Amino acid sequence: MSPMSTIKIIEGADDSAIAAWLTERLERALSHASTIAVTVPGGSTPFPIFDILAGGALPWGRIAVWPGDDRIVAEDHPASNVGKIRARLEPAGATVVPLEEGARPPHFALAWLGMGADGHIASLFPNTDPQPDDAQPVRRLRPDPLPPEAPFDRLSLTMPALLDSDEIVFVIRGADKRAVLDGAIAGAHDLPIARFLAASRAPVTCFC
């Protein structure tokens, strides 16, 4: 199956529109299951969307939330993804599951991902050579070069764990990242985003 045939790009959506889309998708998944699991990104982009979702009507008590990756720091550290996710979604009732080496992630109803300008997804940076057939669902990794704003080792879901999802959504902001995404769709490079899209068999929606 060509990745091009499964990718939908939605341009110009604001945080409220993305939150509404996510709410509809999660409500649909919950109509078929008593509980679901989702994986979500860190970084700055998702947190305003989390705030909107937390204030909505989703039954968060039926949703387990896994970070797609995290910096190996204490949860109260400003760089901790899981700490910030907990602060927003646990008061709404969600179960937030921190990443651990040796963890066995569930099948996800939805995998929400971001992407860096270097084509990385989760903490699967180009130097880590991520593979769609990785035998491990969670890996400890060190980006090289280390991002100066977050110079920490990471725990990350690997490609097979992220691909084990009914649906995949990216929220990507900026012309530089859009160019990398377009190149991945066109098969113009072999960055992690390109490998991931080529291996995906679930519907992919990209908010750009």
Residue type, 95: T
Q: Tell me what pLDDT residue 5 has.
A: 46
Count of H-run helices and E-run strands, the chain:
6, 10
pTM over cut 0.75 = yes
Q: pLDDT 10s digit of each residue in the chain, 208 long?
A: 344 448 999 999 999 999 999 999 999 999 999 999 999 998 889 999 999 999 999 999 999 999 999 999 999 999 999 999 999 999 999 999 999 999 999 999 999 999 999 999 999 999 999 999 999 999 999 999 888 888 999 999 999 999 999 999 999 999 999 999 999 999 999 999 999 999 999 999 999 9
| Alpha-carbon distances of 132 from 1, 26, 95, 122, rounded to whole Å | 15, 25, 28, 14
Q: Among 106, 10, 7, 15, which Cα is nearest to 54's?
A: 15
**What is the CATH T-level fold of the domain 3-207, as seen in this structure?**
Rossmann fold (3.40.50)
Question: Residue holding tokens 């099948």?
Answer: 107
Biggest distance spanned by C-alpha atoms of the chain = 43
Q: Give the burial string for 37-60 (b: 16+ CB within 10 Å, else e).
A: bbbbbbeebbbebbebbbeeebeb
Token digits for 59? Answer: 């039954």
Give the DSSP letter of residue 33. -
How far, in Å, CA of 185 to CA of 197, rounded?
7
Q: Return all residues near 142 (Cβ < 8 A) that are at least 6 apart.
A: 128, 153, 154
How far, in Å, CA of 3 to CA of 199, rounded?
8
Token digits for 67? Answer: 């970070």
Q: Tell me what pLDDT residue 3 has.
A: 43
The domain segmentation of the chain, as residue ranges, is 3-207
Q: Tell me what pLDDT residue 72 has.
A: 96
Angle at 91 between CA 88 and CA 93, to 5 degrees: 110
Q: Return all residues near 146 (Cβ < 8 A) that are at least 6 apart.
A: 152
